């Protein structure tokens, strides 16, 4: 997220042909950010930060995680709200896992909470440790996030939010109105719309694996 602090770098990236950046946002919760060591994301307006990057002509893809020890059942709606407000079209939300070789793995090992090695599949509705949150609450909340953010209504609302912030030019509508009013944005609008079909299929596939 601290890319937004370096305007010269963003401008040079766009001039060099960069169109998209992947940002590990993880969570809008300050305790969760401290827990995963994302100190560069703490103490800032994360939505405004995302929009600043978008304003400089870069699309933001975001990585998000639920399942931190500090998470409460409110985190699911907070994640949905943040993703919608930020206009992050490609929002990749996963359950927390602890691979070998990181501090989280060692801590959970000491706490006797490890169950297995992670599967490596972010969409199989599994974790490799015992979470502090009730398992059914965590899985139901995670499923609610995916069902919400990749539902057609919320997904296309998010594209509109993104196009309003993305520079050059102000984008306000999808496809037809984009073609008429802002033809240079048509590619972004069409690409994001097609991604939505793919993301919904992936989310539905994850549900069938977990059920």
Question: What tens digit of pLDDT does each residue of 83-92 get?
Answer: 999 999 999 9
* CATH number at 2-96+131-210: 3.30.750.200
Task: Count Cβ neighbours within 10 Å for each residue of 62-91 and write b for 16 or more, e otherwise.
Answer: bbbbbbbbbbeeebbebbbebbbbbbbbbb
Instruction: Give this prediction's pTM.
Output: 0.80
Q: What is the domain partition of the chain in residue ranges?
A: 2-96+131-210
Q: What is the pLDDT of residue 1?
A: 93
Cα–Cα distance measured from residue 185 to residue 78, given in angstroms and rounded to the nearest whole number: 29
Nearest to 67 by CA among 39, 88, 95, 41: 95
Q: Which residue has the tokens 């042909």?
A: 17
Question: What tens digit of pLDDT does each residue of 121-140 get?
Answer: 877 899 999 999 999 999 99
CA dist 20 to 8, 16, 131, 144, Å? 16, 12, 33, 27
CA 139 and chain centroid, separation: 17
Task: Tell me the CB-side half-sphere exposure of residue 139, using CA atoms within 13 A.
Answer: 14
188 vs 54: which has the higher pLDDT? 54
Mean pLDDT across the chain: 87
Q: What is the pLDDT of residue 173?
A: 40
Percentage of the chain exceeding pLDDT 90: 72
Cα–Cα distance measured from residue 29 to residue 15, given in angstroms and rounded to the nearest whole number: 34
CB-based contacts of 177, cutoff 8 Å, min separation 6: none
Question: What tens digit of pLDDT does each residue of 151-175 get?
Answer: 999 999 999 999 999 985 333 345 5
Question: What tens digit of pLDDT does each residue of 140-150 get?
Answer: 999 999 999 99
């Amino acid at each position: 997220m601290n890319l937004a602090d370096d305007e010269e770098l963003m401008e040079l990236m766009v001039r060099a042909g960069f169109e998209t950046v992947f940002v590990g946002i993880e969570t809008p919760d300050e305790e969760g950010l401290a827990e995963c060591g994302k100190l560069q994301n703490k103490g800032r307006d994360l939505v405004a930060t995302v929009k600043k990057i978008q304003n400089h002509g870069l699309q933001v893809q975001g990585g998000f995680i639920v399942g931190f020890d500090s998470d409460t059942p409110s985190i699911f709606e907070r994640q949905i709200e943040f993703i919608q407000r930020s206009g992050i079209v490609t929002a990749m939300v996963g359950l927390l896992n602890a691979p070998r070789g990181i501090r989280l793995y060692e801590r959970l090992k000491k706490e006797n909470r490890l169950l297995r090695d992670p599967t490596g599949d972010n969409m199989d509705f599994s974790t490799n440790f015992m979470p502090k949150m009730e398992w059914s609450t965590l899985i139901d909340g995670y499923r609610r996030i995916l069902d919400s953010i990749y539902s057609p209504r919320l997904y296309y609302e998010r594209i509109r939010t993104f196009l309003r912030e993305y520079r050059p030019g102000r984008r306000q509508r999808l496809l037809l109105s984009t073609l008429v009013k802002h033809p240079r944005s048509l590619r972004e609008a069409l690409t994001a719309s097609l991604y939505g079909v793919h993301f919904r299929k992936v989310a539905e596939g994850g549900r069938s694996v977990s059920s």
